[in-house]
């Protein structure tokens, strides 16, 4: 499992320069958001909560621009829903293009995992 | 004497009452967020998202009784939300976030922030250390010497920086903010 292993490695004896991993995580964040939204219709706080216990924990300042960009690219869309406390919320779901990209990314990730497992042998 | 300013935030029907320092901090944050986002369509969208969230968090802090919101309230909320990462700038190389390892890559433009992670007072030295790539111990030593040499004037410089500089929770967050500022 991607997220579990990443956390485990950090708690262990990881010696990789953290700046390198920061750049890697930053690039992966968008795909993890696709994954979170693919599972359910969610609003921003759900996404933050889902990622909070992982190495991909992020803040609204990062999430909102990313969600806006992904919507502009046609990967996801939202609808407004009233909330019992506070202002109405945007509930996000994947579009057909978003679903396709999520599937494509998972396939690519599997191929990467195979490559990493075999490249050093 | 403090002036009090009423502001409206997207999605919140009733206004928020802020003292001047709190208002300035919020305005600076929102202006910086707006400027940091490359795409015009995203700017309005994200500004609305931020205002709705800031309003909800400020309401939570007021709990049951409405009161004037202070700088500490706004700072706590903005720290929770974090600096706005601007997304991709068109035409930018994907590798631009990395250090100068590859030789030809350009470093992201750096900005000075306070960094809460490892802070002794307000995180100014942590921020300067990250900015200058000098060990934080040396930065603190220089501050102490500067204080002695200037016969106690330098703590005021520190104080001024503590008020002026935006804050991020950690070194990782600072790097992320630099990445997106390019």
Overall average pLDDT of the B2-26 stretch: 93
Q: Which pLDDT score, from 0 to 100, does residue B86 have?
A: 65
- For residue B127, what pLDDT band results from cuts at 50, 70 and 90? confident
Distance from CA of A59 to the nearest CA of B (A): 5
* CA–CA min distance A92, chain B (Å): 13
d(CA B96, CA A63): 20
How do residues A67-115 score in pLDDT, each as one tens digit?
Answer: 999 999 999 999 999 988 788 999 999 999 999 999 999 999 999 999 9
Q: Are B113 and B165 in contact (CB under 8 A)?
A: yes
Which residues of chain A make contact with B108, given a CB cutoff of 8 A? none
- Number of residues that make up chain B: 182
B175, B172, B182: which is closest to B87 by C-alpha? B182
Would you report the helix, strand and coil content of chain B in percent, each value rounded to 5? Answer: 55, 5, 35
Spatial contact of A50 and A92, defined as CB atoms under 8 Å apart: no
Phi, psi dihedral angles at A75 (to 5 degrees)? -85, -30
Phi and psi at residue A79, to the nearest 5°: -130, 150
Chain A residue with Cα closest to B84: A61
Query: In angstroms, rounded to a whole number, what is the distance separating the alpha carbons of residues B121 and A65?
Result: 31
Mutate to test the interface with A, among B11, B29, B41, B46 (most CBs of A within 10 A): B46
Q: Which residues contact B18 (CB under 8 A, 6 or more apart)?
A: B4, B5, B6, B7, B26, B68, B69, B74
Q: Does residue A82 sit at the B interface (CB-CB below 8 Å)?
A: no
Q: What is the pTM of this model?
A: 0.64
- Sequence-distant (≥ 6) Cβ neighbours of residue B32 within 8 angstroms: B83, B84, B166
Least confident of A15-24, B19-28, B101-110: B101-110
Residue A76 makes CB contacts below 8 A (sequence gap 6+) with A34, A37, A67, A70, A92, A93, A94, A95, A98
Say which DSSP state A85 is in: S
Between chains, do A61 and B83 touch, taking CB under 8 Å as contact?
A: yes
- Cα(A121)–Cα(B157) distance, integer angstroms: 56
Q: Is the dihedral of CA B167, B172, B173, B177 positive or negative?
A: positive
- Residue-wise pLDDT tens digits, A8-65: 445 556 788 888 888 888 899 999 999 999 999 999 999 999 999 898 999 999 999 9
Predicted pLDDT at A7: 53
> Residue A63: which of A41, A36, A24, A103 has the closest Cα?
A36
Burial class (CB in 10 A: 0-12, 13-18, 19+), B83: buried
Nearest-angstrom CA–CA distance, A109 and A3? 13
Q: Is the pLDDT of residue B97 over 50?
A: no
Quick check: B12 and A87 CB within 8 A?
A: yes
């Amino acid at each position: 499992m991607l997220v579990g292993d990443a956390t485990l490695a950090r708690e262990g004896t990881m010696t990789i320069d953290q700046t390198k991993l920061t750049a890697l995580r930053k690039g992966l964040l968008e795909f993890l958001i696709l994954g979170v939204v693919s599972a359910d219709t969610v609003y921003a706080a759900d996404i933050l909560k889902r990622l909070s216990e992982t190495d991909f924990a992020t803040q609204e300042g990062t999430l909102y621009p990313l969600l806006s960009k992904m919507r502009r690219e046609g990967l996801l869309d939202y609808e407004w829903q009233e909330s019992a406390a506070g202002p109405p919320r945007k509930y996000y779901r994947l579009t057909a293009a978003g679903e396709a990209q999520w599937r494509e990314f998972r396939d690519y990730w599997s191929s990467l995992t195979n490559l990493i497992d075999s490249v050093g042998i | 004497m403090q002036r009090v300013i009423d502001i409206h935030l997207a999605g919140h029907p009733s206004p928020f009452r802020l003292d001047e320092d709190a208002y300035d901090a919020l305005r600076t944050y929102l202006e910086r967020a707006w400027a940091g986002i490359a795409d015009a369509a995203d700017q309005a969208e994200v500004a609305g998202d931020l205002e709705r969230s800031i309003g909800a968090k400020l309401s939570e802090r007021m709990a049951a009784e409405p009161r004037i919101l202070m700088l500490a309230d706004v700072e706590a909320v903005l720290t929770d939300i974090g600096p706005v990462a601007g997304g991709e700038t068109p035409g930018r190389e994907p590798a631009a976030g990395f250090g100068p390892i590859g030789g030809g890559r350009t470093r992201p433009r750096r900005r000075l922030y306070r960094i809460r992670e490892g802070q002794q007072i307000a995180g100014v030295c942590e921020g300067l250390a990250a900015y200058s790539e000098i060990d934080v111990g040396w930065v603190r030593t220089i501050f102490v010497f500067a204080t002695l040499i200037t016969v106690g004037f330098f703590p005021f410089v520190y104080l001024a920086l503590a008020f002026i500089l935006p804050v991020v929770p950690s070194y990782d967050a600072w790097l992320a903010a630099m990445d997106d500022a390019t």
